[in-house]
Amino acid sequence: MLRPLPGDRTRLLVRYQGMGFISAAAGAVAPDAPLPFRLLHVAMVRIPGLELMARAIDFFIGDPLHHYMEAGMLRGIKQRAEGRLVAA
């Protein structure tokens, strides 16, 4: 969301809310999805503790990586918006 500020400035707001990537993706598999994805979904539903393990992987690995990626992306947007991008 772009929010206008006084002094001819703008604030970019980014909000993310979710329950991770692996557990959410495994829970939303379509019936016509490729076989490996359907097998993952069946395993997540039927094997006790597998969904909890997927959520732990999301929390301890996926979320920090997502934060790192999003912070870098926002730095790049800021540099381009302020005209300070240095070519690599």
The number of folded domains in the chain is: 1
Q: What pLDDT shows up at residue 6?
A: 94
The answer to whether residues 25 and 14 touch, using CB atoms and an 8 Å cutoff, is no
Which amino acid is residue 14, in one-letter code?
Answer: V
Query: Per the domain annotation, does 28 fall within a domain?
Result: yes
Query: CA 37 from chain center: how many Å?
Result: 19
Structure confidence by residue, pLDDT tens digits, 31-69: 898 998 888 888 888 888 888 888 888 889 888 898 899
Q: What pLDDT shows up at residue 3?
A: 92
What's this model's pTM, rounded to 2 decimal places? 0.64
Query: Per the domain annotation, does 7 fall within a domain?
Result: no
Query: Per the domain annotation, does 88 fall within a domain?
Result: no
Query: Per the domain annotation, does 14 fall within a domain?
Result: no
Among residues 18, 20, 41, the alpha carbon closest in space to that of 29 is found at 41
Degrees to nearest 5, angle at CA 84 with 79 and 88: 90
